[in-house]
């Protein structure tokens, strides 16, 4: 039979992996519980105890992922079968990352919540990156960006839906990054009263521009609003916000030329008029306010 040192060691081990109920030693040193019953029946080697432990309903209910990994490995799948200590370490690290990001607690208050991520082969580092790139990014974004994200990707309202989207193992890191940049482009455009669809937002997100550069581009397009309005006596050129977007973000030669042509024409007209105001088809532009 195992000596007192081994009994105490095994009791500490079970306690450390959240299975202390299987074996207790009271203040008088009297053992009881499942582990003691194993000793009583003659099972006292570490290997035998480990095998017996993993067959208990208590262990299976607490660590179902280990049984899933064992089954996958037995079927020839390439997988690492984790120990209970490794599972607990994973849960601790990922749980802290989720808490730090302010995710709803119900997303990580049960072992099964972590086990899904383990079986999806998402390492703690990968989970943390997804939180930073997806959940945390959008959750902390301006309202316009978050709304654009909701509209473009239909994740539903609430942080729970957003977290599920960010932690979806079917998505790659590149997809998550592109989605957040796309939402940023669409949201910042709305801030400047420029409405673009998802495809346009994606195209802008794919450009080698920083977020500050994207915001500056939309600011510039918004500043062209008067240019888009055709003044009386000006050449009939159809200029719209899309013209501005094409010129600002894509360097479209025709769009740039059309805008420059109207600016030059307006400057010429301005020189021959009093005060520099330009009469457009929708009213007086450039006259200022009292």
Banded model confidence at residue 117, pLDDT cuts 50, 70, 90: very high
Residue of 275 and 33 predicted with greater confidence: 33
When pLDDT is cut at 50, 70 and 90, the band that residue 23 belongs to is: confident
pLDDT confidence of residue 236: 59
Confidence at 41, pLDDT banded by 50, 70, 90:
confident
Q: Which pLDDT band holds residue 3 (cuts at 50, 70, 90)?
A: low
Residue 66 · residue 84 · CB < 8 Å: yes
Q: Which two tokens stand for residue 203?
A: 């195209």
pLDDT of residue 286: 45
**Across residues 199-209, what is the average pLDDT?**
97
pLDDT of residue 273: 58
pLDDT attached to residue 78? 75
Q: How far apart are CA 13 and CA 44, in angstroms?
A: 15
For residues 155-177, give the mean pLDDT: 89
Which segment of 39-43, 101-105, 175-179, 245-249 scores lowest on mean pLDDT? Answer: 39-43
Q: pTM of the predicted model, to two decimals?
A: 0.74
Q: Would you give the distance in Å from CA 265 to the centre of its chain?
A: 48
pLDDT value of residue 26: 76
pLDDT confidence band for 276 (50 / 70 / 90): very low
Q: What is the pLDDT, as a whole number, of residue 287?
A: 36
Structure-token match 């994207």, residue found: 214
What six digits make up the tokens of 255? 């769009």
Binning pLDDT at 50, 70 and 90, where does residue 12 land? confident
**Residue 135: partners with Cβ closer than 8 Å, 6 or more residues away:** 101, 103, 159, 162, 163, 165, 166, 167
| Tokens matching residue 97 | 């990352």
Mean pLDDT of the chain: 85
The pLDDT, as a whole number, for residue 288 is 40
Categorize the per-residue pLDDT at 146 as very low, low, confident or very high, splitting at 50, 70 and 90.
very high
Whether the pLDDT of residue 27 is over 80: the answer is no
């Amino acid at each position: 039979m195992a000596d007192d040192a081994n009994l105490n060691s095994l009791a500490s081990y079970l306690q450390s992996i959240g299975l202390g109920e299987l074996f207790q030693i009271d203040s008088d040193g009297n053992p009881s519980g499942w582990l003691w019953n194993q000793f009583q029946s003659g099972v006292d080697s570490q290997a035998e105890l480990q095998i017996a432990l993993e067959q208990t309903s208590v262990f299976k209910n607490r660590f179902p992922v280990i049984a899933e990994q064992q089954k996958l490995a037995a079927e020839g799948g390439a997988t690492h079968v984790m120990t209970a200590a490794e599972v607990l370490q994973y849960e601790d690290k990922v749980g802290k990352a989720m808490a730090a990001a302010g995710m709803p607690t119900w997303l990580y208050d049960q072992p099964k919540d972590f086990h899904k991520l383990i079986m999806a082969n998402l390492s703690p580092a990968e989970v943390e990156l997804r939180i930073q790139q997806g959940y945390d990014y959008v959750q902390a974004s301006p309202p316009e960006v978050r709304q654009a994200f909701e509209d473009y990707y239909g994740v539903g309202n609430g942080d729970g839906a957003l977290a599920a989207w960010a932690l979806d193992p079917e998505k790659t890191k590149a997809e998550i990054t592109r989605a957040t940049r796309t939402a940023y482009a669409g949201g910042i455009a709305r801030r400047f009263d420029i409405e673009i669809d998802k495809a346009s937002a994606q195209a802008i997100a794919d450009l080698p521009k920083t977020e500050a550069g994207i915001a500056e581009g939309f600011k510039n397009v918004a500043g062209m609003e008067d240019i888009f309005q055709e003044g009386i006596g000006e050449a009939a050129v159809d200029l719209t916000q899309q013209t501005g977007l094409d010129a600002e973000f894509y360097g479209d030669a025709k769009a740039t030329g059309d805008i420059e042509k109207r600016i030059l024409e307006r400057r010429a007209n301005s020189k021959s008029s009093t005060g520099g105001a330009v009469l457009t088809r929708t009213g007086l532009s450039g006259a200022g306010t009292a």
